[in-house]
Amino acid sequence: MYNLFIELEKGNQREEEYLTRCLICILDQSKNLTTAFLKYIFSCNISAVDGIIITNEKVFDEGRFDICIETNEYCFIIENKIESNFSYNQISRYRHYITSKILKIATIVKYYSEFDEENCPDVQKTWFNIYD
């Protein structure tokens, strides 16, 4: 479990990493809060479930998810971008990696990005949408 106050002390992180860790700290506090967040971001109809697993920077062969939230049947990937660009086919690589669960991918960005059809996330929100 992350501690938000410890994360706030870490001033040498990139803004993207900092916001990702702060969001995980907040979500890690309550499964009801995490469920409400997932409903807001993904507009999905899930109920509060036991066994929510939140992973920061989950590494796999072809990359790394910023935030991975898993339930028994879903895998929610949240990719956070502040001042960096998406790498080549980043979203489609995520889709090829997760095949055993219902996959939902969201990007939370500073500015909206354009995607080709094959590399498009399910949802794109700006950080302004999150904190407004």
- Tens digit of each residue's pLDDT (9 = 90 or more) over 79-102: 988 877 888 888 888 888 888 888
Q: Is the pLDDT of residue 2 over 60?
A: no
Q: What is the DSSP string of 85-122?
A: PPPTTHHHHHHHH--SSEEEEEEEESS-----GGG--S
H or E stretch at 25: helix 15-27
What is d(CA 6, CA 120) in angstroms, rounded to the nearest whole number? Answer: 34
pTM over 0.85, yes/no = no
What are the tokens at 31?
Answer: 């499964």
Q: In which band, very low, low, confident or very high, does the pLDDT at 77 lie, cut at 50, 70 and 90? A: very high
* pLDDT tens digits for range 18-68: 888 888 888 888 888 888 889 889 988 777 666 788 988 888 888 888 999
Give one DSSP letter per residue of 33-66, joined into a string.
Answer: HHHHHHHHHH-------TT-EEEEEEEETTEEEE
* Residue with token string 């002390």: 9
